């Protein structure tokens, strides 16, 4: 495509390699002025790398960038800012103990003479922007005291303050409640109406359908084409992204719950700072049932899981597995009672990355007689056992028994954890953010496995910050807010607006 | 009694001065996100440099400036290791602390015919002249000029950190370097400048001991003052005036040692001498867990990593 003034940004033939690895293989991107352009791809497809090239954080090995038809050279964020490009990163780039105003002016401060800050005038400039765009932001509040949604608006203000005409939003909805997502989409349309252009990086199909005009798809560093969103569908986008047909709906039969497996009564747990994160929580899960916990990160989910698995002490209350109290015993006790956990951060808690796949699959069970006698380990048996798991769970590449776990992709690492957990036939399976960072194909596998475990008779505790996942997979949905369960619903009896309200601490009307 | 109280105050101010310089050095470095354990070593180098500079030129002010320059030079090592090469900042600081006393003694022996201490060097003046207030009960308040400089530097650092754009950038780099980077602030440059300033201030601290309080370099002139200064940084919550106040407290314990040691006090002087150090440990135990360090303190910044 020719460079043309109709386009706010054009990137042609962008090649970027990191050592042996080609992150972007001659990727093209053409973004029309005053449109919302989505970039869709699986994790690690190269979406963020492409945007980091545009923002000057990385330099492309080959390729040209045009803005408004003119060829430009961008070698640093300062260049990008100067050309009217603003980026809102997935992990916010905000100084927590600074005020909103201080964060916005940082690097482009409002000064009187000799570098002395003029905070009065700075505040006024920020207020003007806030009023112009109708953002609900207090310029004097500290970042640590405002909601995530507001922090995101501060990030957008930061870009606007620097005169951004093109805004890049990297996974902007990952941390928002449904209501905040609606508000963000509203803001995006408003910005377009005021003449801005928006590029949004995401792997969420629903949001693309709701907000974007066009969508460019990248698969493993290769540009797969651009589609007009109005004339496309979620299924089409998904198959283009993954390269095969994907089943987006979770298929399952009705649950047949049995006896209560997990019973939690009046549980209170403090975090390492001594602040109560779980505050008198009650929860029951029966065998053959998936209970999904919906909630925003930081409402006690981590502490709840840590208390059940005995990683932290419970201040008060009881946790019962099949009628036996297990609170404040040891992680080993939890394991012996057949509680298996898929941890939220597989690198931190799930795996020893420098160990081989074989060593990782027998982590919990290495002391069993099956895998060795006395103080020695029987590597041959361990490897045979692992070979079987690799086959059963389709862990790729096949024959990776002796490879380091760190060499596997995120999806295959997660499969290895799930294989390890499921083979112990747990009574209770805790799945904490089980699809975090996984692509559509791997997500499908995880959900199928959870449902298969349920049908085998396990009780499943699913905790996720993805509301869609909780709503699709769970038989019962419980909302956690401020360390308490604030509502419990059977699947299909509640919609996402009602849940979103509860997740944000509101009351059900 | 009144005269004793004034004397107490005078000694407190005198002994807190080297600590204040060291602590200010710690504040500026850590606010930019670089832990500087090497303050002690930089003070030792400043101490010998000041004595030698003052002795050879006959001008103590030149000695003072030489001390700052030498302190900054040692800090350059720390900056190269910990900022450019993202080395472990504790290890780099410890290395400087082991290197510096050796360097100081070596320099001393080379410069002064193998003597382990320098000859008497000209001292910096007192604020009201050598005999100001002499004969009055306020004589001990005629403090060395370095004491006033220390307070002045504290005020300047406060102003720069909180009222100027450079201060805003330093604090941002110490809290969230990636954020500063994306806004076009050169994280490495900010950290280099702050670490060099840190070394310069520590050098001044060493000078205010050897040509402010005593008038020569000895091996024990700086003995743990840098570490006490670091404790003052934490106790003072990484703010210039907080650190200043903490240094006064440590200076006070030092004064206590001198006042009590002078009389017929029942406690042996050796035990008394432990007081400042014991105080440091107590303060650290009570405050280390509670005060909040700059978020990126001690974390090397590597572009492109999260």
Q: Which residue has the tokens 């038809």?
A: A69
Q: How confident is the model over A222-238, as a mean pLDDT?
A: 90
Query: What strand order describes the sheet that includes A197-202?
Result: A85-88, A166-170, A197-202, A36-40, A214-219, A222-228
- Tell me which of A184, A211, A242 is where a domain ends: A242
What pLDDT does residue A509 have? 52
| Cβ-nearest to B163 among A94, A108, A116 | A116
Does residue A108 sit at the B interface (CB-CB below 8 Å)? yes
Residues of A in contact with B303 (CB under 8 A): 57
Q: How confident is the model over B171-199, as a mean pLDDT?
A: 95
- Rounded to 5°, angle at Cα B273 from B267 and B275: 90
pLDDT in tens, A420-444: 988 889 999 999 999 887 777 788 8
- Is A247 inside any structural domain? no
Residues of A in contact with B169 (CB under 8 A): 106-107
Q: Which residue has the tokens 């299924």?
A: A235
Q: Are A298 and A175 in contact (CB under 8 A)?
A: no
Q: Which residue of B has its CA nearest to A111?
A: B165
Does residue A94 sit at the B interface (CB-CB below 8 Å)? yes
DSSP string, A342-363: E-S-IIIII--TTSBHHHHHTT
The alpha carbon dihedral of A234, A235, A236, A237 has a sign of: positive
Q: Which residues of A238-265 are buried (b: 16+ CB within 10 A; e: fewer)?
A: bebbbeeebebebebeebebeebbbbbb
Window 283-302 of A: residues touching B by CB (8 A cutoff) are: none
Question: Which residues are CB-neighbours of B179 under 8 A, at least 6 positions away?
Answer: A93, A94, A95, A103, A106, B172
Residues of B in contact with A55 (CB under 8 A): 182
Q: Which residue of B has its CA nearest to A90?
A: B306
Contact A111 B165 (CB under 8 A): yes
Cα separation values, B12 from A136, B95, B218, Å:
52, 31, 21
Other Cβ atoms less than 10 A from the Cβ of A86: the count is 25
Residue B289 has pLDDT above 70, yes or no: no
ipTM for this prediction:
0.87
Residues of A in contact with B164 (CB under 8 A): 111, 114-117
Pairing of strands A428-432, A316-321: unpaired
Of the pLDDT bands very low, low, confident and very high (cuts 50, 70, 90), residue A301 is very high
Contact B168 A106 (CB under 8 A): yes
DSSP state of A144: G
Q: Are residues A309 and A406 in the same domain?
A: no
| Cβ-nearest to A94 among B169, B171, B179 | B179
Does residue A107 sit at the B interface (CB-CB below 8 Å)? yes
**Residue A268, phi-psi category: left (phi > 0), alpha (psi -120 to 50), beta (remainder):** beta
Of the pLDDT bands very low, low, confident and very high (cuts 50, 70, 90), residue B288 is low
Q: Are A383 and A403 in contact (CB under 8 A)?
A: no
- For the purposes of burial, counting CB atoms within 10 Å of the CB of B214, is it exposed (0-12), middle (13-18) or buried (19 or more)? middle
- Tell me which of A396, A424, A452 is where a domain ends: A424
Does residue A98 sit at the B interface (CB-CB below 8 Å)? yes
What pLDDT does residue B262 have? 65
Does residue A250 sit at the B interface (CB-CB below 8 Å)? no
Q: Are residues A454 and A363 in the same domain?
A: no
Of the pLDDT bands very low, low, confident and very high (cuts 50, 70, 90), residue B306 is very low
| Cβ-nearest to B172 among A57, A106, A115 | A106
Q: Are residues A397 and A450 in the same domain?
A: no
- Is A95 inside any structural domain? yes
Please give the Cα distance from A46 to A25 (Å, whole number): 9
Task: Compute the mean pLDDT over every residue in chain B, rounded to the nearest whole number.
Answer: 91
Residues of A in contact with B184 (CB under 8 A): 76-78, 81, 107
Q: How confident is the model over B29-46, as a mean pLDDT?
A: 96
Q: Are residues A74 and A204 in the same domain?
A: yes
Q: Which residue has the tokens 């475990």?
A: A453
Of the pLDDT bands very low, low, confident and very high (cuts 50, 70, 90), residue A508 is low
Residues of A in contact with B304 (CB under 8 A): 57-58
Please give the Cα distance from A14 to A66 (Å, whole number): 12
Show the tokens assigned to A353.
Answer: 């990355």
pLDDT in tens, B207-255: 999 999 999 999 999 999 999 999 999 989 999 999 999 999 999 988 8
Q: Are residues A287 and A432 in the same domain?
A: yes
| Cβ-nearest to B175 among A91, A97, A114 | A97
Give how far B286 is from chain A: nearest CA, Å.
16
Residues of B in contact with A57 (CB under 8 A): 182, 303-304
Which of these, B26, B63, B31, B58, lies nearest to B42 by C-alpha position?
B26
How much of chain A exceeds pLDDT 90, in percent?
A: 58
Q: Which residue has the tokens 């706010």?
A: A8
Task: State the total domains in chain A.
Answer: 3
Kindly report the CATH number assigned to the domain that includes residue A42: 3.40.50.300
Q: Are residues A59 and A196 in the same domain?
A: yes
Q: Are residues A371 and A414 in the same domain?
A: yes
pLDDT in tens, B133-149: 777 878 888 889 999 99
Contact A109 B165 (CB under 8 A): yes
| Cβ-nearest to B184 among A78, A94, A117 | A78
Residue A48 has pLDDT above 60, yes or no: yes
Which of these, A177, A159, A180, A208, lies nearest to A35 by C-alpha position?
A208
Cα separation values, B284 from B35, B79, B91, B222, Å:
16, 26, 21, 20
| Cβ-nearest to B306 among A58, A91, A98 | A91
Give how far B165 is from chain A: nearest CA, Å.
6
Contact B179 A77 (CB under 8 A): no
Contact B176 A96 (CB under 8 A): yes
Give how far B177 is from chain A: nearest CA, Å.
9
- Is A232 inside any structural domain? yes
| Cβ-nearest to A57 among B165, B171, B304 | B304
Please give the Cα distance from A392 to A361 (Å, whole number): 13
Q: Are residues A415 and A474 in the same domain?
A: no
Helix boundaries (H) for A88-134: 100-105, 119-133
| Cβ-nearest to B168 among A76, A97, A117 | A117
**Three-class DSSP labels, B46-110:** HHHHHHHHHHHHCCHHHHHHHHHHHHHHHHHHHHHHHHHCCCCHHHHHHHHHHHHHHHHHHHHHH
Q: Are residues A169 and A308 in the same domain?
A: no
Contact B181 A106 (CB under 8 A): no
Residues of A in contact with B165 (CB under 8 A): 109, 111, 115, 117
Q: How confident is the model over A307-325, as a mean pLDDT?
A: 94
Show the tokens assigned to B248.
Answer: 């006064």
Other Cβ atoms less than 10 A from the Cβ of A228: the count is 10
Of the pLDDT bands very low, low, confident and very high (cuts 50, 70, 90), residue A187 is very high
Show the tokens assigned to A19.
Answer: 């050592």
DSSP state of A142: B
Say how many Å lie between the first and final Cα of chain B, rounded.
Answer: 61
pLDDT in tens, A359-379: 999 888 887 888 888 888 899
Contact A107 B180 (CB under 8 A): yes
Residue A476 has pLDDT above 90, yes or no: yes
Q: Are residues A294 and A213 in the same domain?
A: no
Give how far B178 is from chain A: nearest CA, Å.
7
**Residue A134, phi-psi category: left (phi > 0), alpha (psi -120 to 50), beta (remainder):** left
Contact A81 B304 (CB under 8 A): no
Which of these, A350, A351, A352, A353, lies nearest to A341 by C-alpha position?
A350
How much of chain A exceeds pLDDT 70, in percent?
A: 99
pLDDT in tens, B251-275: 998 888 888 776 666 777 788 888 8
Q: Which residue of A has its CA nearest to B304?
A: A57
Give how far A109 is from chain B: nearest CA, Å.
6
Q: Are B195 and B202 in contact (CB under 8 A)?
A: no
Say how many Å lie between the first and final Cα of chain A, rounded.
Answer: 53
Task: Compute the mean pLDDT over every residue in chain A, rounded to the nearest whole number.
Answer: 90
Q: A489 is in which domain, residue-wise?
A: 258-338+426-509
Of the pLDDT bands very low, low, confident and very high (cuts 50, 70, 90), residue B190 is very high
Q: How confident is the model over A290-308, as a mean pLDDT?
A: 92
Q: Are residues A377 and A440 in the same domain?
A: no
- Tell me which of A424, A447, A479 is where a domain ends: A424
pLDDT in tens, B43-102: 999 999 999 999 999 999 999 999 999 999 999 999 999 999 999 999 999 999 999 999
Does residue A240 sit at the B interface (CB-CB below 8 Å)? no
| Cβ-nearest to A107 among B183, B303, B306 | B183
Does residue A78 sit at the B interface (CB-CB below 8 Å)? yes
Residues of A in contact with B168 (CB under 8 A): 102, 105-106, 109, 117
Which of these, A290, A300, A301, A276, lies nearest to A458 by C-alpha position?
A290
Contact A57 B182 (CB under 8 A): yes
Q: Are B43 and B205 in contact (CB under 8 A)?
A: yes
DSSP state of A216: E
Helix-strand-coil split of chain A, %, nearest 5: 35, 25, 40
- Is A343 inside any structural domain? no
**Three-class DSSP labels, chain B:** CHHHHHHHHHHHHHHHHHHHHHHHHHHHHHHCCCCCCCHHHHHHHHHHHHHHHHHHHCCHHHHHHHHHHHHHHHHHHHHHHHHHCCCCHHHHHHHHHHHHHHHHHHHHHHHCCCCCCCCCCCCCCECCCCCCCCCCCCHHHCCEHHHHHHHHHHHHHHHHHHHEHHHHHHHHHHHCHHHHHHCCCCHHHHHHHHHHHHHHHHHHHHHHHHHHHCCCCCCCCCCCHHHHHHHHHHHCCCCHHHHHHHHHHHHHHHHHHHHHHHCCCCCCHHHHHCHHHHHHHHHHHHHCCCCCCCCCCCCCCCCCCC
- Is A266 inside any structural domain? yes
Q: Are residues A289 and A277 in the same domain?
A: yes
- Is A44 inside any structural domain? yes
Residue A273 has pLDDT above 80, yes or no: no
Does residue A193 sit at the B interface (CB-CB below 8 Å)? no
Please give the Cα distance from A326 to B113 (Å, whole number): 75
| Cβ-nearest to A117 among B163, B176, B295 | B163
- Is A142 inside any structural domain? yes
**Is the preceding peptide bond at A397 cis, omega within 30 degrees of 0?**
yes
Residue B304 has pLDDT above 80, yes or no: no
Domains, chain B, ranges and CATH?
Answer: 2-125+139-287 (1.10.3470.10)
Other Cβ atoms less than 10 A from the Cβ of A402: the count is 12
Window 127-166 of A: residues touching B by CB (8 A cutoff) are: 158
Q: Which residue has the tokens 């991107």?
A: A29
What residues are paired with A339 via a beta bridge?
Answer: A428
- Is A251 inside any structural domain? no
Q: Which residue has the tokens 């903490």?
A: B246
Q: Which residue of A has its CA nearest to B289?
A: A273
Please give the Cα distance from B201 to B213 (Å, whole number): 17
Please give the Cα distance from A319 to A459 (Å, whole number): 14
């Amino acid at each position: 495509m020719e460079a043309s003034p109709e386009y706010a940004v054009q990137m042609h033939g962008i090649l970027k390699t990191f050592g042996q690895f080609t992150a972007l293989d001659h990727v093209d991107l053409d973004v029309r002025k005053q449109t919302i352009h989505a970039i869709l791809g699986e994790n690690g497809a190269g979406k963020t790398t492409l945007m980091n090239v545009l923002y000057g954080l990385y330099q492309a090995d080959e390729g040209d960038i045009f803005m408004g038809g003119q060829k430009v050279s961008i070698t640093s964020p300062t260049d990008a800012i100067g050309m009217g490009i603003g980026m809102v990163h997935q992990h916010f780039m905000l100084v927590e103990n600074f005020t909103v105003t201080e964060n916005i002016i940082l690097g482009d401060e409002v000064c009187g003479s000799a570098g002395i800050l003029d905070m009065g005038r700075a505040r006024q400039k920020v207020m003007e922007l806030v009023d112009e765009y109708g953002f609900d932001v207090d310029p004097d509040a500290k970042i640590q005291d405002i909601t995530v949604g507001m922090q995101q608006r501060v990030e957008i203000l930061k870009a606007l303050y620097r005169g951004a005409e093109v805004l890049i939003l990297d996974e902007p909805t990952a941390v928002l409640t449904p209501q905040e997502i609606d508000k963000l989409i509203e803001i995006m349309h408003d910005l377009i109406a005021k003449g801005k252009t928006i590029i949004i990086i995401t792997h969420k199909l629903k949001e693309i359908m709701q907000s974007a005009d066009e969508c460019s798809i990248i698969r493993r560093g290769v540009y797969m084409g651009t589609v007009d969103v109005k004339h496309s569908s979620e299924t089409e986008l998904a198959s283009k992204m993954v390269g095969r047909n994907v089943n987006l709906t979770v298929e399952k039969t009705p649950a047949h719950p049995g006896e209560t497996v997990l019973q939690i009564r009046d549980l209170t747990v403090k975090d390492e700072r001594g602040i109560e994160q779980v505050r008198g929580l009650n929860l029951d899960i029966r065998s053959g049932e998936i209970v999904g916990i919906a909630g925003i990160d930081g409402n006690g989910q981590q502490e709840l899981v840590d208390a059940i698995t005995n990683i932290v002490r419970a201040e008060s209350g009881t946790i019962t597995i099949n009628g036996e109290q297990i609170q404040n015993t040891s992680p080993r006790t939890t394991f012996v009672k057949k509680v298996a956990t898929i941890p939220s951060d597989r690198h931190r808690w799930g795996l020893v990355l420098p160990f081989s796949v074989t060593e990782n699959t027998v982590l919990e069970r290495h002391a069993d007689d099956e895998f060795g006698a006395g103080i020695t380990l029987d590597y041959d048996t361990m490897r045979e056992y692992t070979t079987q798991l690799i086959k059963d769970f389709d862990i790729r590449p096949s024959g990776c028994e002796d490879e380091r776990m760190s060499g596997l992709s995120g999806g295959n690492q997660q499969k290895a954890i799930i294989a390890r957990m499921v083979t112990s036939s747990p009574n209770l399976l805790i799945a904490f953010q089980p699809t975090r960072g996984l692509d559509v194909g791997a997500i499908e596998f995880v959900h199928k496995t959870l449902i298969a475990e349920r049908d085998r008779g396990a009780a499943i505790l699913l905790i996720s910050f993805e509301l869609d996942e909780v709503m699709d997979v769970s038989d019962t949905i419980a909302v956690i807010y401020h360390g308490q369960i604030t509502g419990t619903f059977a699947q299909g009896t509640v919609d996402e607006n009602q849940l979103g309200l509860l997740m944000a601490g509101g009351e059900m009307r | 009694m009144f005269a004793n109280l004034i004397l107490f105050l005078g000694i407190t101010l005198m002994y807190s001065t080297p600590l204040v310089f060291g602590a200010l050095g710690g504040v500026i470095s850590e606010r930019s996100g670089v832990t500087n354990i090497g303050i002690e070593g930089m003070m030792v180098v400043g101490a010998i440099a000041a004595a030698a500079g003052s002795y050879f030129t006959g001008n103590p002010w030149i000695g003072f400036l030489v001390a700052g320059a030498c302190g900054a030079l040692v800090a350059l090592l720390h900056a190269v290791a910990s900022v450019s090469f993202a080395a472990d900042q504790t290890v780099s600081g410890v290395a400087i602390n082991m290197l510096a006393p050796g360097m100081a003694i070596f320099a001393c022996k080379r410069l002064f015919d193998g003597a382990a201490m320098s000859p008497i060097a000209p001292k910096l003046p007192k604020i009201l002249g050598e005999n100001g207030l002499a004969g009055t009960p306020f004589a001990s308040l005629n403090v060395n000029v370095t004491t006033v400089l220390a307070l002045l530097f504290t005020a300047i650092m406060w102003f720069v950190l909180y009222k100027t754009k450079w201060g805003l950038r330093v604090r941002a780099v110490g809290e969230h370097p990636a954020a500063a980077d994306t806004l076009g602030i050169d994280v490495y440059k900010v950290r280099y400048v702050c670490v060099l300033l840190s070394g310069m201030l520590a050098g001044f601290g060493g000078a205010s001991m050897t040509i402010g309080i005593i008038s020569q370099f000895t091996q024990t002139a700086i003995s743990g003052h840098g570490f006490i200064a670091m404790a003052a940084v934490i106790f003072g919550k990484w703010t210039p005036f907080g650190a200043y106040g903490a240094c006064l407290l440590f200076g006070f314990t030092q004064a206590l040692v001198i006042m009590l040691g002078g009389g017929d006090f029942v406690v042996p002087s050796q035990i008394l001498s432990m007081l400042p150090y014991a105080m440091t440990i107590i303060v650290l135990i009570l405050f280390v867990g509670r005060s909040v360090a700059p978020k990126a303190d001690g974390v090397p910044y590597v572009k492109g990593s999260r």
